[in-house]
Amino acid sequence: MHTTFRSSLFIVLLSFALISCAPDNSAPVDSGPLVRNIEEFNSAVTTLQPGDKIILANGTWSDVEFELKAEGLADAPIELTAEEPGKVIITGESNLSISGSHIVVSGLVFRDGYTPTSEVISFRTSNDELANNTRVTNTVIDDFSNPERQDSDIWVAMYGKNNRFDHNSLLNKGNKGVTLAVRMNTEASRENGHVIEYNYFGPRQTLGSNGGETLRIGTSHYSREYSNTVVRKNYFDRTSGELEIISSKSCGNTFRDNVFFESQGTLTMRHGHYTLVENNYFLGNRKPNTGGIRIINENQTVRNNYLYGLTGHRFRGALVIMNGVPNGPINRYDPVIDSAMNKNIVVDSDHIQLAAGADEERSAPPTGSSMHDNIIMTRTNLEPFTIYDDVSGISFEGNILNDEASVAIDAGFRYVPYSVVENEHGLRVPAMSLVGEIGFGEIKLPVTKDDTGATFYGKEESKKAFQSGQTIAVTSGTNTILEALDSSSPGDTLLLDNGGEYLLTKYASVNHPVTIKAESGEQPILRSEKSSFFIIENGGALELENVWIDGAASPDQPGNNVISTSRYSMNRNYSLVVRDSKVTNLDVNHTFDFLKVYRNTFADSIDILNTEMTNVTGSILSLDKETDDLGIYNVENLGIRNSRFTDIQGSVANIYRGGTDESTFGPIVVVEGNQFTNTGLGARNKSGASLKFHGVQKLDVSNSNWIKSAPIELYLTNGEPITMIKDVVMTDTGNIRANSDEYSTENVTYERALTP
């Protein structure tokens, strides 16, 4: 391997020579020596010369920490690659760190494991040994997530200068921490000129706290330094970890020609100046919390971007210009100065927010800024602009708005008929005459999903939906459900007999999405002799449909439940649906809950639909286990609809999201069409409420009745929560309790008994 030849011809000839000397070596003829284990790797890296290759043998590499220090040359880089791209699978507690220069890494897959350090692929081997002029390409990190949900790590940490990260697939990060971070913690990593391009940033689940950014460049400490990183032609596919898809925290960065597909959150210029955001496409497709571009700081340019079907409000609006903190500390919001938001096209998106976030601290409105020649066509919200403070520091000129819509700014807007058609590229576009007027150019995705990511790695959906698989008939009897669960695959349906009796004498573990149901008709009855019927383990999700859950066979002890999450950290979000079902007799002892959740678990959604629950000594949904006031919580979307709750001693729902963090969308709650009778009044119900919502960001309660029940309790926190309670009747039930009057009510009736 002491190759010193510069000519590729000689390298090829040498490879032939090496292969002929080593009969075991089955590597393709154009490759260098194959290494088969970490010892061989460690030995190979000590002698690397420019032009050398290290080729990892196909197979599974478990618990390996690759450290590659090497000095290649521009025309003779050092390569680390796979025998065949995609066939080297790195698992267990593993990572890769690189330092030196002119190194190319390719063809690797990180899967089924996590890094024991805080970085999976690091462009440094120590604080002062960094990688420069180095490329990582055609590589995959898929769900290489720390099992501890709140243990933070970074999948790719770029240090040094002039590095290129391209054609990689990063998907399914489950734990906290930025997916890809450009670090600027030493001088040698600033003004770095990194290029991040043609990557596939695949689905990132809602984290339910801060720290779910997909891309971050810099940190607040170095945010007034230049990074000069270019992010172009990447595809962000449902990267919905938190409010910030991208958090640009340094100066001089460019974001051009990227596509954001159904991603919750925004491209945020959180810190730093002189950012260019150009020709990016945001396709919200009317999915919840989808956002666009948010300007903070000075000399930012946002132009020629296309934004469609974005529904996000407040900080995750389609276009947002923030208020700042005058002379604030470096980690707060700098005022917007001399920034431009011009020639953008916004179609059927709901919110454009100006001077957003204005409050006592963020009291400096934008100055010296412009909003020119934007086309805004919307029928989804006819008042798309929200103006929170003085916007005289923004000049408005040449903007075009459809004539049903309005904006409370006098000059700078022209009204035209709504004219949106689908163009030949399948995009919803305004009339071409208008597009031509602002000089936007062709409206076409600047990069497709297929153009991005590792060539060998698929982009198909990995998460199976309920009832998307096979149906397994389950005859009534003891533990027949357990046997069926064991043999089921993700998305399968267990079909029970109408009127059948099912007994569980063991815990039923739910390890993947599964539905347990009966056809319409008489409900089968399920009983359990254990303290839980079902345990949703990491990766599991459960749907119950047309079944009757009865607590009569449960052990005579306090603290039983029907459904429990794993008691350990779950780095995969779960969901729970209970539909057309009945729950009775959870009363063999006290504190018999319907659902018990543990810390470090997170539900994307919990839905109780058209279901009747009667006689419960505990609570139905206690989602209050994250008590550290860090903005962490247990459920994103909770829906309780068309259901009846009778004689429930605990609360029906109790959500807790404490702290002042502003980086999440949820919890989001809908309570609609229900009846609550004698609920929440048990002596052990510490909340003293039938429904308690602390820190819920969006709450809709409607068309419901309370009879002889504990009241609703609201604790409104920061983030401008939206709370509406309407068309409800409270009979012999206390008044709504709240810490603030910043909520809305409509048609709330209290009917009181004459005697208490």
Told to check if 248 binds Ca ion by CB under 5 A, we report: no
The residue (of 316 and 343) whose beta carbon lies closer to Ca ion is 316
What are the phi and psi torsion angles at 269 (to 5°)?
-90, 75
Select from 203-211, 334-342, 366-374, 501-509 the region that touches Ca ion (CB under 5 A): 203-211
Select from 94-102, 327-335, 465-473, 662-670 the region that touches Ca ion (CB under 5 A): 662-670
The residue (of 170 and 535) whose beta carbon lies closer to Ca ion is 170
Joined together, the tokens standing for residue 53 give 């290759």
Select from 22-30, 284-292, 573-581, 658-666 the region that touches Ca ion (CB under 5 A): 658-666
CB of 270 to Ca ion, least distance (A): 8
The residue (of 245 and 583) whose beta carbon lies closer to Ca ion is 245
Residues in contact with 686: Cβ distance below 8 Å, sequence separation at least 6, in sequence order: none
Residue type at 330? I
Rule CB under 5 A: which of 480-539 touch Ca ion? Answer: none
The residue (of 244 and 497) whose beta carbon lies closer to Ca ion is 244
Size of the site for Ca ion (CB under 5 A): 3
CB of 354 to Ca ion, least distance (A): 22
Cβ–Cβ under 8 Å, residues 714 and 693 = yes
623: helix, strand or coil: strand
CB of 211 to Ca ion, least distance (A): 7
For 660-663, which contacts have Cβ atoms below 8 Å and span 24 or more sequence positions? 660/631, 660/717, 660/718, 661/209, 661/210, 661/630, 661/631, 662/243, 662/315, 662/631, 662/718, 662/719, 663/209, 663/210, 663/211, 663/212, 663/242, 663/243, 663/244, 663/631
Told to check if 223 binds Ca ion by CB under 5 A, we report: no
Q: What whole-number distance in Å separates Cα of residue 503 and Cα of residue 493?
A: 18
The residue (of 250 and 304) whose beta carbon lies closer to Ca ion is 250
Select from 154-162, 517-525, 659-667, 674-682 the region that touches Ca ion (CB under 5 A): 659-667
Select from 178-186, 244-252, 313-321, 622-630 the region that touches Ca ion (CB under 5 A): 244-252
Q: What whole-number distance in Å separates Cα of residue 53 and Cα of residue 549?
A: 62
CB of 135 to Ca ion, least distance (A): 28
Cα 418 to Cα 319, 397, 415, 427, distances in angstroms: 20, 19, 9, 16
Q: What b/e string do you get for 411-450 counting C-beta neighbours within 10 Å, with b at 16 or more?
A: ebbeeeebebeeeeeebbbbbeebbebbebeebebbbeee
CB of 331 to Ca ion, least distance (A): 12
Joined together, the tokens standing for residue 33 give 């020596």
Select from 133-141, 168-176, 458-466, 663-671 the region that touches Ca ion (CB under 5 A): 663-671
Residue type at 627? T
The residue (of 143 and 661) whose beta carbon lies closer to Ca ion is 661
368: helix, strand or coil: coil
N-to-C CA span, the chain: 90
The residue (of 161 and 314) whose beta carbon lies closer to Ca ion is 314
The residue (of 295 and 620) whose beta carbon lies closer to Ca ion is 295
CB of 264 to Ca ion, least distance (A): 13
What are the phi and psi torsion angles at 212 (to 5°)?
-110, 25
Told to check if 210 binds Ca ion by CB under 5 A, we report: yes
Cβ–Cβ under 8 Å, residues 670 and 700 = yes
Residues 119, 142, 225, 244: which binds Ca ion (CB under 5 A)? 244
Q: For Ca ion, what does the binding mask look like between residues 543 and 572, x meaning CB under 5 A?
A: ------------------------------
The residue (of 210 and 619) whose beta carbon lies closer to Ca ion is 210
CB of 265 to Ca ion, least distance (A): 9
Residues 663, 685, 697, 717: which binds Ca ion (CB under 5 A)? 663
Binding site residues, Ca ion, CB under 5 A: 210, 244, 663
